[in-house]
Every structure is written in structure tokens, then in C-alpha cells.
Amino acid sequence: MKVRSLAHQTLNRIFTSKEYSNITINNVLSNNELNDKDKRLYTQIVYGVLKNKILLDHYLKPYLKGKSLKDWMRHLLEMSIYQMIFLDRIPKYAILNDAVEVAKKIDFNSSKLINAVLRNFDTENLNEPLKEEIRYSIDEWLFKQIKGQYKEEYMDILDSFNKNPKASARVNSLKTQRYKLLNDRIHESKVTNTGIIFDSGNISHTNAYKKGLVTIQDEASQLVARMLNPKKTDRVLDVCAAPGGKTTHIAEIMKNQGQILANDIHAHKIELIKQNATRLELTNIEYSNHDGTKLRKIYTREYFDKILIDAPCSGWGVIGRKPELKYNQNEKKVEEIRKIQSDLLESNAPLLKVDGFLVYSTCTINKGENEVQIRKFLEENNNFTLEKERMILPHENHTDGFYIAKLKKVTR
């Protein structure tokens, strides 16, 4: 019962408190003694519900007519029928009994409703044709956006959201070489020459991680610092630096020389960058805790050789890692984010030297935050040109979805 109780608590935290699934799940696994079998079941249940919530609610609907549910009750029912449908190796009575026991500890009277719904639930009634947005368990607005923008590839993209993400890391080139870390369960990335893929296990628990030989980072994300291509003598600004994956990659490319200013609006996240830099033994990073749109009030014009704006975004490219993002998207939120992105570009452009480079990146596949955003900036700033542009879709190499654009400042 402990595993299912932990899974239920986790789902409540993610859906009610809006916590990030990957962080919450890692914290739970780190703070509870579970054997490997129980860890697998726990993660299967939590991610299974997160990836299939709309589908599960659709299957539950006929059994809830006239019944009022609190959020915790719905989450308990969702995780229970997920097991009945997708984990059919587990006997129904075991799923039902644990669900009732979990409910009793929260509200004894509610356990009767949980028991009645699950006893009546029949997996034989699940063969009706489904709308695509229900089958892929995705918010209708977001479904229309992705289908409209990627008419030929949308099904591949949606399929990729429900696949388990790869456990990838970046090799610290200052301390080791990639081939030295490869073995039967660690393989080289085909996407980037700094990447390795772990078949299993928690990367942060490995000796390679503890010794600062690797950093946890998706393969697509590793392409950003490479496109910036900083030199050892450069002065580099990372506008939205936390948690520091790209900052530390820039430092490694620069051979721990030059100067990097790692800025972030959140003070507690600056500490994460510092911790990463210390573990990796990087010393050419300075830290700044300011609103990224206000930096031109602090630094003089044309102060930096290179600027990275890894902008806040809707996150459509990382839904495979954070499936809860499928359920909280809307046009208003995206427009608010686009305004922040535009402000970051406009306010930091004057800080770049002539002949310097600015890289803009996001972990979304929404064209409005990517290609459209860059075209708008170039129309309004004819002293910049587009040097390179790349969209990495999540299904292409089973990575996160990423957009990267490299701009050159050609005149004042």
C-alpha cells in the first residue's frame, strides 16, 4: 500500500500545488526507502496518470453520474483505473483494496464511493472509437495548436509525448573524455558529441556525476551552447541562466577562461548554478540576480561578445518529461510568455558588441514563440541578421523539442 499511497500524494502535489513532476518524483524517490520493484511501480503509476489523465477521466465518466468528487478522490480513481487498464498483471482486487485503504486514511466515508466505482469499473467497455485529443490525452486547445502548426507530423509529436524520455548527460570535457565513460549501459549520443545515454539508474547517484565528470542535460539542450560557440577570451551573458546546464556548458567550451555572467531573476536558483559550477570545478562564472529585462540599466552598451537568451516558454518541447504541461495551456498564458520573450530580446540587444552573436533558444515547439518571435525581432532591428536557425522536434531523435536561433549584430 505504501507505493500507491506515495503515488497518490505525488499526484495531489503535482495537480493541486502545481509542482513539477520530475522534481517531485525525484524528491519522493530520494526520501523514501523503496526497492527497485516498488520504485518502478511508483513511477509507472504517477507518469501513467500524468500522461493519460484526459483518457482516464473519459473512461471514468460513465461511473460518476450524479457523484461529486473532491480532487484527491479523482486522482485516486485515475491511478486505480490506470493500473486496471495498463498494468493488467496486477490483480484487480489488489488495486481496489489499496485504493480503499488509502481513501479510509483520508476520509472514511469517501472510501465507500471509491469502492463502488472501482468494483463497477469494467475494462471490457473500452473499445469505442476515441477523438484524437482524448486518445492522446491532451488539452483540446493545445491539440489544435500542434495539429495546426505541424499538419504532417503532429501524430508523431503526440506519440513522442507518451514515450519514456531518455536519461541523458553531458560529459565535462575539462575533466574527462566521452569514450572513457562508455560501457554496456552507457552509450554515446548520436545527436551531440558531448552527450551520453544511460540505460537505467539515477544519473545523480553515479560516481561520474559526483566527481563532476557529467551533468544531467538533454541532448537537444546541449546543442545551444555549441551554436553560441564562445571563445576563451569572450565576455558572455547568460540572461536566464538557472539551473545552469547551458551556463556550465559554455564555461567548459571556454576552457574555464574568459568571463561568463550568469543572471537569473530568482535568487534561490542562482544557488543551483553555483552548486553545479562547484561540482564541475568551473571558476570563470560570475553571478547576477536581476530581472533579465533590466540588465541594460546595469551594464554599458556593447559590453558582451556573446549573449544567450534561453527564454521562458510554454514548454511544449518537454511534455515528455513534464506531461502535466498538457493540461494547463491556453492562449492567454502563451501570449504573456511571448511578451516576456520579446522584452528579453529587445532589452538585451543593446548590450551586444557589433559583430557579436546572440543565441535565442526555447524548449517549446510553438512557432509563435520561436520563428515568429525571431522574425518580428529582425523586422524591428535591422542591425541584426539571422545566421542559423534550428528546430529539433521531439520525435526526430527521441529528445526534448528545442528551437535555437543565432543572430549577428552587424551595425549599431
Nine-digit cell at 253?
567550451
In this structure, the answer to whether residues 248 and 107 fall within a common structural domain is: no
Q: Name the band, by pLDDT with cuts 50, 70 and 90, for residue 195.
A: very high
Please state the rounded mean pLDDT for residues 145-151.
98
Q: Collapsing DSSP states into helix, strand and coil, what is residue 173? A: coil
pTM of the predicted protein model: 0.94
In this structure, the answer to whether residues 238 and 370 fall within a common structural domain is: yes
pLDDT digits (tens, 9 = 90+) for 301-323: 999 999 999 999 999 999 999 99
Of 345, 363, 404, 407, which one is the catalytic site residue? Answer: 363
In this structure, the answer to whether residues 115 and 232 fall within a common structural domain is: no
In this structure, the answer to whether residues 240 and 100 fall within a common structural domain is: no
pLDDT digits (tens, 9 = 90+) for 103-117: 999 999 999 999 999
CATH number at residue 283: 3.40.50.150
290 touches 263 (CB < 8 A): yes
Cα-based angle 5, 8, 13 (whole degrees, multiple of 5):
125
Domain that holds residue 33: 2-128
In this structure, the answer to whether residues 242 and 388 fall within a common structural domain is: yes
- Would residue 363 show up in a list of annotated catalytic residues for this protein? yes
Sheet containing 235-238, strands listed edge to edge, beginning at the edge strand earlier in sequence: 285-288, 259-263, 235-238, 304-310, 352-362, 402-409, 384-392
- The pLDDT, as a whole number, for residue 201 is 83
CATH number at residue 21: 1.10.940.10
pLDDT digits (tens, 9 = 90+) for 153-172: 999 999 999 999 999 999 99
In a domain, 185, yes or no: no
Phi, psi of 154 (to 5 degrees): -60, -35
| Residue 251 CB neighbours (<10 A) | 29
In this structure, the answer to whether residues 123 and 223 fall within a common structural domain is: no
In this structure, the answer to whether residues 223 and 106 fall within a common structural domain is: no
